[in-house]
Chains A and B, each alone.
Chain A
Amino acid sequence: MLIPHPLLGLRDAQEFTYLGDARLLDRPDGLADGAAAAFFDYAYLRDNPAGIHRELWFHEQGDRSWLVVTRNTLTHEILGAELARDVARARQGGAA
């Protein structure tokens, strides 16, 4: 698999390590009410879709950036990659 790194172009997936579902960006607030239940969900439960999956890859043997890669789990086709930093900022509604 080749991952289209937004800064470095097509890179071999072997240069990356895989973490999992990009929802891991949405870390719950540990001080909020119901934090234990929210953290159980966050740490352990996964949608595990057969089809389009947005997921976190770390460019460990490269520029050490985190990417959100969109990939089809049925075919391994890679549909896009963004800097996880940009995705997280956009979700928080802040400027990139």
Chain B
Amino acid sequence: MRFSGFRVIKEALTGHRGWGPLWRNPDPQPAYDVVIIGGGGHGLSTAYHLAKVFGGRRIAVLEKGWLGSGNIGRNTTIIRSNYLLPGNEPFYEFSMQLWERMEQEFNFNAMVSQRGILNLIHSDGQRDAYRRRGNAMRLAGADAELLDREQVRAMYPWLNFDAARFPIKGGLLQRRAGTARHDGVAWGYARGADRLGVDLIQNCEVTGFRIEQGRVLGVDTTRGYIGAKKVGVAVAGHTSQVMAKAGLRLPIESHVLQAFVSEGLKPVIDGVITFGAGHFYVSQSDKGGLVFGGDIDGYNSYAQRGNLPVIEDVAEGGMALMPAIGRARLLRIWGGIMDMSMDGSPIIDRTPIEGLYLNAGWCYGGFKATPASGYAFAQLLATDAPHPTATAYRLDRFARGYLIDEKGVGAQPNLH
């Protein structure tokens, strides 16, 4: 079944009886060439790219719940490539380019919307820092524009420009950034992978690894043992738990991040805005809800819900930036568990166990990486060589001192 405008019209006229399920629901085979653990965005993107770009393998994705039940369906959907460091920026720009063509490629509407992200500037020092960042972005082939105060006012006249404490002095704009429908991304990759022959196996929790003489042979699951020549782990917030079963301790802490959505409002924000003086960012969904968030709660957590102090902090940030938000009522608040790494950057690498590969440490920014993370992980799984834009994401970089610390706060996951 292919999606097209013609098809939508035809189905509308014939009572929508022609749509089928987007993927099969197979039982696991006894063995595969590659088993990917975790049916979130990164696992599904990995399977899709492995089958599509590198081909010729029997592949399964094992998901303990349903596809897309983790962070891929809980994030605030922002995609951007506005990083500073050379280990990061080319990778995120590669991801941005994949976002720009993925919907045509996998024939699914992921509602990729390049509505722009505006990072606000509130001081002269911050302007210098953003100018530097913008230059770094452009060096890596991304787009960046430094706006002055009046240019920002023309875009969002209702922002609190003259707040005594944090006046708005300008902004860094990336026009190609934006948002995407998070579930749509998971479903698009899932459907694409399924059509390429990948087995997507749900309700299948990995409970252990079978490892002999330093080599992985397969995984124990709640649906029985599954043999595998190679195993790729992409379980986000549960990385430490899963890798502990293979005897590995990692430079990762699990933390909770909350997100918020207001009641539906008339269109007011057509892009993404981030406050530069407190942690608050906001966009508006196509249904009209203001989607916003801020800091992680800051303590180790697997609870998938947060506490009130962060809610207060985010609300204060919102009020400082756009006082009008105080009139909107909150509809929902939720949390997701993230794998915060010790330098705030991800890991895509082999592990000391032969045949076992790791994709982790995405912190609160892994949604935008979904296409490139899957592509790079697939390349590593297929060829044992890293993708050229992902060579810095080594697991041993902490021991060697090659950290990728965008914020410069050191080995303190709750500050990244």
Given A18-B298, A20-B413, A50-B241, the answer on whether A44 and B303 have CB atoms closer than 8 Å is no
Contact assessment for B302 and A40 in the assembled complex, using a CB-CB cutoff below 8 Å: no
Minimum CB–CB distance from B208 to chain A (whole Å) comes to: 16
Measured CB to CB, the residues of B under 8 A from A are 238, 240-241, 244, 249-254, 298-303, 307, 309, 342, 398-399, 411-414
Selected A-B contacts with CB under 8 Å, 14 pairs: A13-B299, A13-B309, A17-B298, A18-B414, A20-B413, A40-B399, A43-B411, A44-B251, A46-B240, A47-B240, A50-B254, A55-B300, A71-B299, A73-B300
The 7 closest A-B pairs by CB, nearest first: A48-B240, A44-B251, A44-B398, A14-B309, A50-B302, A45-B249, A18-B299
Which of chain B's residues have a CB closer than 8 A to the CB of A48? 240-241, 250, 252-254, 300
Which of chain B's residues have a CB closer than 8 A to the CB of A44?
251, 342, 398-399, 411
A1 beta carbon closer than 8 Å to chain B: yes
A75 to B414 alpha-carbon distance, docked (Å): 19
CA distance A78 to B103 in the complex (A): 46
A74 adjacent to chain B (CB < 8 Å): yes
Specify which of A46, A73, A75 is in contact with B249 (CB 8 Å cutoff).
Answer: A46
Quick check: A46 and B301 within 8 Å, CB to CB?
no
With contacts defined as CB atoms under 8 Å apart, how many contacts are there between chain A and chain B in the complex?
66
B241 proximity list for chain A (CB < 8 A): 48, 50
A59 within 8 A of partner (CB): no
Q: Tell me whether B398 and A46 are in contact (CB under 8 A).
A: no
| Chain A: minimal CB distance from B349 (Å) | 15
Total A residues in contact with B, Cβ cutoff 8 Å: 25
Determine if A53 is an interface residue (Cβ-Cβ < 8 Å). Answer: yes
The reply to whether A1 and B240 contact each other, CB–CB distance below 8 Å, is: no
* B303 proximity list for chain A (CB < 8 A): 73-76
Interface secondary structure of A, over-half rule: mixed
Q: B300–A20 contact, CB under 8 A?
A: yes
Q: Contact between B250 and A46 (Cβ–Cβ < 8 Å)?
A: yes
Q: Distance (Å) between the CB of A42 and the closest chain B CB?
A: 9
A20 and chain B: residue at smallest CB distance: B253
C-alpha gap A75/B256 in the complex (Å): 12
In the assembled complex, the CB of A71 is this many whole angstroms from the nearest CB of chain B, namely 8
In the complex, what's the smallest C-beta–C-beta distance from A5 to chain B, in angstroms?
16
Quick one: CB contact mask for A16-51 with B, threshold 8 Å, 1 for yes?
011111000000000000000000100111111110
Residues in A neighbouring B307, C-beta threshold 8 A:
1, 13, 76
Instruction: Other than A44-B251, A44-B399, A53-B300, give 5 A-B pairs with Cβ distance below 8 A.
Output: A47-B249, A48-B240, A55-B299, A55-B300, A76-B303
- CB-CB nearest in chain B for A36: B399
Bound complex: CA A50 to CA B238 (Å) = 9
Q: How far is the CA of A1 from the CA of B300 in the complex (A)?
A: 13
Question: Residue of B at shortest CB range from A48?
Answer: B240
Q: Point out the residues of chain B lying under 8 angstroms from A20, CB to CB.
A: 253, 300, 412-414
In the bound complex, residues from chain B placing their C-beta under 8 Å from that of A13 are: 299, 307, 309
Nearest CB on A from B80, distance (A): 28
Can you name the residue of chain A whose Cβ is closest to the Cβ of B248?
A45
Q: In the complex, what distance in Å separates the CA atom of A75 from the CA atom of B326?
A: 31
- Shortest C-beta distance, B397 to chain A (Å), equals 10
Residues of B within 8 A of A12 (CB): 309
Write out the residue numbers on chain A whose beta carbons fall within 8 Å of the beta carbon of B309. Answer: 12-14
Residue A74 contacts which of B252, B302, B411, B414 (CB distance < 8 angstroms)? B302
Residue of B nearest to A12 (CB): B309
Q: Is the Cβ of A46 less than 8 Å from the Cβ of B253?
A: yes
Structural contact, B250 and A45, CB atoms closer than 8 A: yes
**How far apart sit A16 and B171, CA to CA, in the bound complex (Å)?**
33
Rounded to whole Å, the gap between the CB of B246 and the closest CB of chain A is 14
A73 and B254: CB pair below 8 A?
Answer: yes
> With a CB–CB cut-off of 8 A, which chain B residues contact A73?
254, 300-303
Closest B residue to A74 using CB positions: B302
Inter-subunit contact A76/B342 (CB<8 Å): no
